[in-house]
């Protein structure tokens, strides 16, 4: 089962910031928090990931709570091209110590023109 919970859907106006929340209350000390997004009919695309400190890249920012039980993906200025399903996932340990990644249902972001 997915180790994260996200709202099913969110809406944002174009050119405004978007804050996408994710809860991961069972996170362990070594779990990285990954965010991906999936456009229609495409494979998921990496957005950002982090461990403890807030992270920034050209696509987004990731704000991680001090207790690491939640995080927020921040899109600073939403565009119509940002309309997608956003997934927040944690790395899980499978058989033989292998890392596996279980996706939940994600948050469907709708951007209004």
Q: And the tokens for 24? A: 């991961």
CB neighbours of 47 closer than 8 A, spacing ≥ 6? Answer: 35, 36, 37, 59, 60, 73, 86
User: How many whole angstroms separate alpha carbon 3 and alpha carbon 71?
Assistant: 13
Stretch binding other proteins (CB under 8 A), from 54-62, 63-71, 76-84, 88-96: 88-96
Q: And the tokens for 104? A: 């939940």
How many residues at the interface with other proteins, by CB under 8 A?
23
Site for other proteins in 26-85 (CB under 8 A): 32, 34, 36, 41-46, 49
Which lies closer to other proteins via its Cβ, residue 13 or residue 28? 28
> Which parts of this chain interact with other proteins (CB under 8 A)?
32, 34, 36, 41-46, 49, 87, 94-96, 98-106
């Amino acid at each position: 089962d997915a180790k994260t919970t996200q709202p099913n859907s969110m809406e944002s106006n174009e050119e405004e910031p978007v804050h996408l929340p994710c809860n991961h209350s069972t996170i362990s000390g070594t779990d990285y928090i990954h965010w991906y997004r999936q456009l229609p009919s495409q494979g998921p695309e990496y957005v950002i990931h982090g461990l403890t400190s807030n992270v920034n890249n050209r696509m987004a920012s990731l704000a991680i709570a001090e207790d690491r039980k939640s995080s927020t993906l921040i899109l600073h200025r939403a565009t119509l091209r940002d309309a997608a399903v956003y997934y927040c996932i944690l790395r899980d340990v499978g058989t033989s110590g292998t890392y596996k990644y279980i996706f939940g249902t994600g948050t469907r972001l709708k951007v209004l023109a």
